[in-house]
Every structure is written in structure tokens, then in C-alpha cells.
Structure 1
Amino acid sequence: MDVAELILAGLAMALATVVQLSAGLGLGLVGVPLLAAIDPRLVPVPFVLSGLPMMLGQWRVDSGAVPPGMLAPALLGVVLGTAGGMALAILLPGIATRRGYGVIVLLAVALALAMPRLRPTRPMLAGAAAVSGVMGGISGVHGPLMGLVVAHLPAQAVRGFLGLFWLVAYGAILAAAVPAGRLGWQELWLALALLPGIALGAALSGPARRWLHGPRLRWAILGISGAGGIALVLAG
């Protein structure tokens, strides 16, 4: 990348980081399309690598607010779903499209609007996580379904829960990238190039975190999810 592309990539990551640390999700929905337009080599592996420290930090900061019993079914669901998605991608490479993922996300947004007091029960957490895992295993984009399931919880609980969820989901993608030969020195250097943008976004996210809570956080999650679903449908 030249200097101009490096600056643009850093700004894209800064914007995506502000959204992620404020709402608990949005790093992929905002960052991946922008980075792919700048340099396709930046996604998915360098992008995922650079995002791991931020997800770890998001989880560590807010993990104490996560209600007990929520994490186990979600993490089990995303691991099994990701493995299943990877297998499907190998056996049936034409099984999924971005438009299909977008429709699923928009249906989830409609469900969240129709049932504003949706509760994250263990079966619901496991099911949403499994669907997200399958989507991620096939395409590398897990989608915002988990955010919709927990959107009504207190802001710290949402961010802590989603931080660990995305951390595990990204780890599953990297675990698949190693045997596939997609994780090498080039990906590591590109990931390092994205870190200054993440640091800038983290520094700017404080005011947004303080403002986004309660109904504002829920509507932010719905808005980000809806925009991501529409973008996937239009991308086909």
C-alpha cells in the first residue's frame, strides 16, 4: 500500500472502532467494505488479526456486567456453527450469498422491532450464535444477530458479552486460516498497519460510549444491523 491508502485504511479502522466500542458491534459491518475498497488484501485475515486486541479489551472492560449463564450457550453455538459453515463452504461452495445473509439480518431486525422485550434465553442465544457461526464460517462475516438478541440489556452487559463473542468468532476464523495457508507474514504486516487506526478510534470512542446507553444503544444496534443487512442485500 502507498501512504494515501495507508492513511485511508487507518481512518476506516478508526471509524469502525468508534462504532464497535460504542455499540458493541459494527467493526465488520463498517470496516470490511471500506477496507476491501481500499485494498482487498486487508480482508479478512489482516482485519481480523488487528481487531483481536480490541475485542479482548472490550470484553475485559465490561465482562463483570454480563449476567451469569449467557456466555456458555452462545460460545458453544458460534464454535459449532463456524465449524459447520466451514464444512458447508468446502462441500457446497455456492450454498450461501451475501444477499441471503442480508435477508436473515433484516428478518432479525424486524423480529426485534416486533418483539421489543425479546429475552436472551439459553436456546435463543445458542440458536442465534449457531446461525452467526454458519454465516461466519462460510463468508467470514458473522452478522449482527447476537447484538439484536441482547440489545435490551444494560450497555456494559451488551459490550462485555459481544466482546467475548466476537473474540471467539474471530479466533475460529483464524484457526481455519492457518491450514488454508492464508495466515503468513504479509497478513501480519498488514494487520500491524491497521493498528494505529484502531488506537485512534479507541481514543475517540469515550464520548460515544457515555452517550449510548438504554434505548439509545438498542436503537443504535438496530440501525447498524439494518444498514448492514441492506448493504448485504444490495451487494448480492
Structure 2
Amino acid sequence: MPDTALVVIALTVATGAFVQGTSGLGFALIVAPVVGLLAPDLLPVFLLAAMIPLNAYVLWRERHALDLSGTGWITAARIVATPGGVLVLALVPESFLGVLVGAATVAAVVASLLSPSFTPGVGAYLAAGAITGITETATGVGGPPLALVYQHRPPAELRATVAACFLGGEIVSLGLLFGTRQAHLDQLLPLLPMLPAVALGAALSVITHRRLDAARMRIVVLVFALVSGTALMVGL
């Protein structure tokens, strides 16, 4: 990979880590289009691996606010659904998958805007975990379902719980991708020079993560889901 591409990806990774460290969301949305343009062969393995240290840090920082029950249900559903993501990656054209997932995400945002405030239950957790297990394993982008489930919860709870769900799911997804030979070790090598960029973005987020109140967080969540869904629909 040319040095210029490495620098661009590193700056993008630092930005994505800062945004996700602040809001709990956004790394894949920011990084996936750039990596897809400069080094498409790295997806989704690079994204999944890069988010592991980031989500581990966010989970540790926000551990006091973790929703253990929600994390358990979401993770269980995600583990069950992850093989579906591997199958989708092998069988479904990426362009069609993007349109399908993007349309579903945009529809969920519209429904959220029209629906009253709610407290998520087991059904919502299971649905979000299953959808995330498929979409993140196949594309590297899995945040919208979790974001929508936790949009009315306190910001710290959203950050901690989403980080915990991502962390466990990313490890499972990578394990299955490597186990089924859909991933290769050379896709992980570019991650090594990116780790300082992840650390920089995460460190800077310490300054801003407490400044988001619940109302602003919900706006961030809905905008994130809408933009990510639209990006997937148009094939970014």
C-alpha cells in the first residue's frame, strides 16, 4: 500500500476513534468508505480488528454504566446470527447487501422519529443482536441497530453497552471469518501502524465524551444511523 494511502487511512482512523470514543458510534461509518476506496481488499477484516482495542478502551472507561442484561441478550443473538453473516459474505453480492441493509436502517430511523420514547426489552435486544451479527460480519458496519435500541438511554450507558456488544461480536466474527477462510492474516498487517492512530483518537475523546447530554446523543444516534444507512444504499 502506498505511503500516502497509509497516511490518509491513519488520519481517518484517528478521526473515527475520536468520534466513537465521544459518542459510542461512528468508527465504521467514517473509516469504511475510505478503506473501501483505497484498500477494499482489507474489508471487513481491518474494520473488525481495528475496533477491538477501541471498544475495549471505551468499555473500560464507561464500565460503571454497562447494561449487563442488554449486553447478554444482544451478544447471545449476535453469536447465533454471526454464521449468517459469513454465509451472506460468501453468497450475496456486496452491492445488493448494501442496498438491503441501508434501506432497513433508514426505515428504522423513520420509525424512531415517529414513535414515542421507549425502554428496550428482550425482543428489541434479540433483534438488534441478530441484525448486527449478520451486517457487521458481512460489511464491517453494524452500529445502527444497537444505536436505535439505545437511543433513549443515558449516553454513558449507550457507549458502554454498545462497546461491550461490539467487542464480543468482533472477536466472534473474526474467528469465524478466519475459520472459514473468508479472511487472511495479510489483511491484519496494515492494522499495526494504525494502532497509534486509534490510541490518539480515543485519548482525545476523553475531553469531549462527557459533554454530550441525552438529547444531543439521540440526535447523534439518529443522524449516524440515517447517514450510514444512506451510505450503504449508495454503495459507499
Residues 22 and 208, structure 1, Cα contact 8 Å, conserved in 2: yes
Q: Give the unaligned 5+ runs of structure 1.
A: none
Partner in structure 2 of residue 17 of structure 1: 17
Please tell me the residue identity of whatever aligns with 1:215: A
Partner in structure 2 of residue 97 of structure 1: 97
Please tell me the residue identity of whatever aligns with 1:112: S
Structure 2 length normalisation: TM-score?
Answer: 0.91
CA RMSD of aligned residues (A): 2.0
Partner in structure 2 of residue 213 of structure 1: 213
Q: Give the unaligned 5+ runs of structure 2.
A: none
Partner in structure 1 of residue 135 of structure 2: 135
Structure 1 residues 129-187: Cα deviation after superposition (integer angstroms, max 9, x where no partner): 11221223433432411111111111111111000111122112211222216231x23
Report the CA distance shift for 1:50/1:89 in structure 2 as closer, same or farther (over 3 A): closer
**Whole-angstrom CA distance in 2 between matches of 1:10 and 1:203:** 15
Please tell me the residue identity of whatever aligns with 2:155: A
Please tell me the residue identity of whatever aligns with 1:131: I
Residues 112 and 118, structure 1, Cα contact 8 Å, conserved in 2: no
Alignment of 1:41-52 (within 5 A): 41-52=41-52
Report the number of matched residues: 234
Partner in structure 1 of residue 84 of structure 2: 84
Report the CA distance shift for 1:203/1:143 in structure 2 as closer, same or farther (over 3 A): closer
Report the CA distance shift for 1:48/1:68 in structure 2 as closer, same or farther (over 3 A): closer
Structure 1 length normalisation: TM-score?
Answer: 0.91
Residues 150 and 158, structure 1, Cα contact 8 Å, conserved in 2: yes
**Whole-angstrom CA distance in 1 between matches of 2:43 and 2:134:** 19
Structure 1 residues 89-115: Cα deviation after superposition (integer angstroms, max 9, x where no partner): 44x435952011101111111121112
- SS of 1:69's equivalent? helix
Partner in structure 1 of residue 118 of structure 2: 118
**Whole-angstrom CA distance in 1 between matches of 2:93 and 2:190:** 29
Percentage of matched positions with identical amino acids: 26
- SS of 2:106's equivalent? helix
Please tell me the residue identity of whatever aligns with 1:196: P
